Amino acid sequence: MNSYVYAIATMDTKGRELAYVARCLNAAGAAVRTVDVSTSATPLDQQSTVSDIHRDVVLSGTAIDEAGDRGTAIATMAEALRQFMVQECRAGRVAGVIGIGGSGGTALITAAMRSLPIGLPKLMVSTVASGNTAGYVDCSDIAMMYSVVDVAGLNVVSRTVLGNAAHAMAGMVAQLPPLAESRPALGMTMFGVTTPCVTAIRESLEARGYDCLVFHATGAGGRAMEQLVESGLIRGVLDMTTTEVADQVVGGIFPAGPHRFDKLLQARIPLVMSLGAVDMVNFGALDSVPEKFRQRSLHVHNDQITLMRTSVAENREIALWIAAKLNQSVAPVTMLIPEHGVSMLDAKGQPFFDAEADGVLFSELESQIQQTDTRKVVRVPHHINDAEFSATAVKHFDQLMSAATT
């Protein structure tokens, strides 16, 4: 089946600009389909061009109140485009996606891009690409290109920028020689304070022929790993550093997000988990710590990051949050509890050592997780960074992997 670069814009105002991008892509040898995601049926640009895929096809029967709020209209079209592009991608028709737009168009188009598999070329030419793009990119691999001038007509600058973008996309979708068979990829989560644990696991599994992908547990890191799992690029996960849950529950700057673990549990791949760095909540510089936490046990990690020790009550909430997720599992999962501490700072003589808080976390997990033949909680009488703990994690992962391949 032929595949195409899907070139997307609100063509009621940016039809000529998108047509130019399409011509550049065609000249570079890429097959193109233009997609209109206008929220209005009436072109504002009298010279706008006809799209290959009409807005009504994207909407697929969904109605937009054109006289209503523009933000609502954009959100409606964004969801319609997301569903449309996911369907086209699953059908094998999408080689890459390029979008052009202002703030509204960027929000609309990147919402669909974020739902597409990691590795599929995605390029957004945007008037807002020189600012904070986290909300548009999140944990996806969207490339953002600043338009410099507004996407409003073709001139000496816009032609150059749009032409460069088109040729960049053409290069990304160019046929490459087949890749040699790669090693099975595994996902792992890590923080600086769990580095010894994850490094030992990684080195052990790499020696056995696995390709280990380590993700920094900063909220986006966990979501990025799960995006790759959903894309089918990761065969197993050792989610050893679940600190993002502490930020989610308490209100830190690296939250897991409400859907953390969902994709892992739905993927039915071998999953070993632990509690790395849930003894801490992350904030920015010391003066950014909320007033209500100023009297808590704080540790300045660096000029930009301040850590706060989680309390007994917060550890109970963290355990309940994790247990509620794991109790939905239908695939094998093993939760390992490091009885002697969950981070470098949570060890005897270190600033976050708190046996009571850890004890509540561990006991609540054991009591709240509904254990079955495939959902297990295992206490390990070691610190998370001890060599014995890493070896135990590898042993349990091997067991799950063996069961999954028999």
Are 85 and 111 contacting, i.e. CB atoms less than 8 angstroms apart? no
- DSSP H helical segments within 251-386, as ranges? 262-267, 312-326, 355-368
Domain edge (last residue) among 173, 202, 224 = 173
> How far is C-alpha 399 from the chain's CA centre?
28
Q: Are residues 275 and 137 part of one domain?
A: no
Q: Are residues 106 and 168 part of one domain?
A: yes
pLDDT for the residue 78: 94
pLDDT for the residue 178: 56
Q: Are residues 189 and 159 part of one domain?
A: no
Residue 236 lies in a domain: yes
Q: Are residues 193 and 169 part of one domain?
A: no
Residue 355 lies in a domain: yes
Burial 7-31 (b: 16+ CB within 10 A, else e): bbbbbbbbbbbbbbbbebbeebebe
pLDDT tens for the 406 residues of the chain, in order: 589 999 999 998 899 999 999 999 999 999 999 999 998 876 655 555 789 999 999 999 888 877 677 888 899 999 999 999 999 999 999 999 999 999 999 999 999 999 998 889 999 999 999 988 988 998 899 999 999 999 888 999 999 999 999 999 999 998 666 555 578 999 999 999 999 999 999 999 999 999 999 999 999 899 999 989 988 889 999 999 999 999 999 999 999 999 999 999 999 899 999 999 999 999 999 999 999 999 999 999 988 999 999 999 999 999 999 999 999 998 899 999 999 999 999 999 999 999 999 999 999 999 999 999 999 999 999 999 999 999 999 999 999 998 887 6
Residue 288 lies in a domain: yes
pLDDT for the residue 388: 98
CA 296, CA 307: separation in Å to the nearest integer?
A: 10
pLDDT for the residue 251: 96
CATH value at residue 377: 3.40.50.12030
pLDDT for the residue 180: 54
Q: Are residues 297 and 196 part of one domain?
A: yes
pLDDT for the residue 170: 95
pLDDT for the residue 65: 76
Q: Are residues 288 and 203 part of one domain?
A: yes
Q: Are residues 196 and 165 part of one domain?
A: no
pLDDT for the residue 142: 95
Residue 334 lies in a domain: yes
Q: Are residues 235 and 125 part of one domain?
A: no
Are 329 and 265 contacting, i.e. CB atoms less than 8 angstroms apart? yes
Residue 179 lies in a domain: no
CATH value at residue 29: 3.40.50.12020
pLDDT for the residue 227: 87
Q: Are residues 214 and 144 part of one domain?
A: no
pLDDT for the residue 30: 94
H or E element: which one contains 389? helix 387-404
Q: Are residues 191 and 165 part of one domain?
A: no
Residue 196 lies in a domain: yes
Report the candidate in 261, 196, 200, 195 with the shortest Cα–Cα distance to residue 397. 200
Residue 331 lies in a domain: yes
Residue 400 gets which letter from DSSP? H
pLDDT for the residue 330: 85
The residues near 177 (Cβ < 8 Å, ≥ 6 apart) are: none
Q: Are residues 166 and 50 part of one domain?
A: yes
Please give the backbone phi and psi of residue 285, each rounded to the nearest 5 degrees, phi first: -55, 155
pLDDT for the residue 152: 85
CA 26, CA 190: separation in Å to the nearest integer?
A: 44
Domain edge (last residue) among 173, 199, 224 = 173
What is the number of structural domains in the chain?
Answer: 2
Residue 180 lies in a domain: no
Domain that holds residue 36: 4-173
pLDDT for the residue 161: 96
pLDDT for the residue 23: 96
Q: Are residues 243 and 135 part of one domain?
A: no
Domain edge (last residue) among 122, 138, 173 = 173
